[in-house]
Structure 1
């Protein structure tokens, strides 16, 4: 098949730092060491679970502070999937993730936990200037004109990205759009509606989807289904996929209606360590699945669920155990088959 760019993300590489606070804002744990972060990073690794490194990719803006250990970790997934751009004018993008109340593992099934009225707060802020990536950055690189384009941003910025895509002649990628959490607010809804006809797959998580529509009801399955239907009617081109924690993901298309895709791990699974990046990994796996399953978004979502299952088994990114395709000492194909069997039994 060659090194054809199939799945490319415009998400930024971020060096994450974490702090854990009690309800009064006092530190409960020592700050963690810096970790590889960024929704785009998790998304491209989620796609890498299924595709060779030459078919997935991400631009990494590398400042003079870029840790050699992170360089090695990324290259272990395959050197072909990274395009490093050295920046001498600024540091690598860094961000602080603050968790107040429960440990960040508590967001494993935030939908279910919200229903149980468990209070959990988190916040995110950049510590350095953001080094944003646009479709124009892909031109004249090995990532030019990918089949699938993934981006995470506000609806307003998504409009800019889609304009650049339209300006590129003879390029009509499958656009997987993940609204950035802090812009999933009612004020952004008009900007979102304006771009929906250009969005192949819209995928907020359940909390974000409800927030965009000013809905304060608990994100239970029936409400999630109604919200997905609303977004589809507002103009999404192909499908709405609402990621819903341990409930799984609700997939709705114009042609075939709605279907729940289960999460691979149950809510109380001991294998779940940290859900950071789970949703991003899901969308990377979904993107790869779209290629493998010839555009079937329902089946592609099973690939996404498996990618997410590897992301949440440890703090940070999953481990590529060997070049034969083993991740975290297990094979994605085995998990996919198990998930398909579970879906068959539930039907």
Structure 2
């Protein structure tokens, strides 16, 4: 994908977390970098091999933050804005279900160290083309409004960037539906997963139902996503793929890169965040929500192949992640998506 001298993406939220992975009968794995900021950043980074510095990564690091994790981020070649603080680094424990080895919970061990829009003042990151936000409706509304004001005060030519919002799961409830619909009008893309979307509605079904998901997604589109209602909703649905919908584009379902039982799925933690980071790069390159989602599915496939982050080796056009060229995987996925579409893979509404 083409290079650029500008910052393309900055992810904001509760910063970088240091996870302790606990599985029954195994020794804990400590200091695994995680959190929405980390995974959205790596998702975007996958798709800019020739211009890694176009991705910004900003976070607070306590005195106990592992130097090797910082070096890992530096090895990606991103524009790193590291803010050292006296507070302990953000840490948590990830628990897995003994029966199926799937993630079942997360417990915070420390307070989060969130990055706010104000942390971008006086940096190149403030002028980024796009932002990924993770948080509540109130947080996103206030942050986007403040971001626009700061960019206006700094005389940026593009005062309103492209914004993707990933809601906080605990805040997705029937009593917060209207607040989320209102906040969605201030962003370009609203992206809950299928369980979060279902949590807004009393008529949600226990079984996976594409028609129900499309109906619920349409309620956000009808309320208006984006300042002119021209935004998009993307419902990430794990092994079921994802739904892409806007007022201009009818419902489309994209398959997950790996099918259940393929043996390649090790840990889905962070896959949704990485999806959205890559989605943003795809959209910035093409202006297409669908092409962005295709990039997102490919990025998610790299994240689920291991516990933690995918492994980078090589440089520029010769770089590979987990020993695979990202663009080669993108080409293979796009071919499969086209074939699925010809066989009737289009979702209806």
What is the CA–CA distance in structure 2 between the aligned matches of 1:305 and 1:337, rounded to whole Å? 12
Contact 1:49–1:325 (CA under 8 A) maintained in structure 2 = no
Say yes or no: does 1:154 pair with 2:136: yes
For structure 1, the residue ranges without an aligned partner over 5 or more in a row are 21-26, 108-121
CA drift of 1:298 comes to: 0.3
Contact 2:141–2:186 (CA under 8 A) maintained in structure 1 = no
- Mapping of residues 226-305 of structure 1, within 5 Å: 226-237=215-226, 238-293=231-286, 295-305=287-297
Contact 1:207–1:219 (CA under 8 A) maintained in structure 2 = no
What is the CA–CA distance in structure 1 between the aligned matches of 2:202 and 2:106, rounded to whole Å? 22
- Specify the SS of the correspondent of 2:253: strand
CA drift of 1:247 comes to: 1.3
What is the CA–CA distance in structure 1 between the aligned matches of 2:184 and 2:59, rounded to whole Å? 28
What is the CA–CA distance in structure 2 between the aligned matches of 1:75 and 1:135, rounded to whole Å? 22
CA drift of 1:146 comes to: 1.0
Which residue is equivalent to 2:314? 322
Which residue is equivalent to 1:194? 182
Q: Against the structure 1 CA distance between its residues 213 and 101, is the aligned structure 2 distance closer, same or farther, given a 3 Å change threshold? A: farther
What is the CA–CA distance in structure 1 between the aligned matches of 2:79 and 2:253, rounded to whole Å? 31
Which residue is equivalent to 1:182? 170
CA drift of 1:28 comes to: 5.0
- Specify the SS of the correspondent of 2:106: strand
Mean CA deviation greater in 298-307 or 168-177: 168-177
TM-score, L = length of structure 2? 0.88
List per-residue Cα deviations over 1:242-283 (Å, max 9, x = no partner): 001111110001112111111111111111111111111100
Which residue is equivalent to 1:14? 17
CA drift of 1:178 comes to: 0.2
- Specify the SS of the correspondent of 2:29: coil
Say yes or no: does 1:206 pair with 2:191: no
**RMSD, matched Cα:** 1.7
CA drift of 1:103 comes to: 4.5
List per-residue Cα deviations over 1:165-211 (Å, max 9, x = no partner): 23231511111000012222223223212212112000010001100
What is the CA–CA distance in structure 2 between the aligned matches of 1:215 and 1:316, rounded to whole Å? 35
List per-residue Cα deviations over 1:274-310 (Å, max 9, x = no partner): 11111111001101101122x1010111111111111
Q: Against the structure 1 CA distance between its residues 9 and 85, is the aligned structure 2 distance closer, same or farther, given a 3 Å change threshold? A: same
Which residue is equivalent to 2:28? 31
Q: Against the structure 1 CA distance between its residues 99 and 254, is the aligned structure 2 distance closer, same or farther, given a 3 Å change threshold? A: same
- Specify the SS of the correspondent of 2:233: strand
What is the CA–CA distance in structure 2 between the aligned matches of 1:207 and 1:180, rounded to whole Å? 12
Which residue is equivalent to 1:344? 338
CA drift of 1:2 comes to: 4.5
List per-residue Cα deviations over 1:117-165 (Å, max 9, x = no partner): xxxxx22232212211122211211212211110101112112212212
TM-score, L = length of structure 1? 0.88
Contact 2:136–2:167 (CA under 8 A) maintained in structure 1 = yes
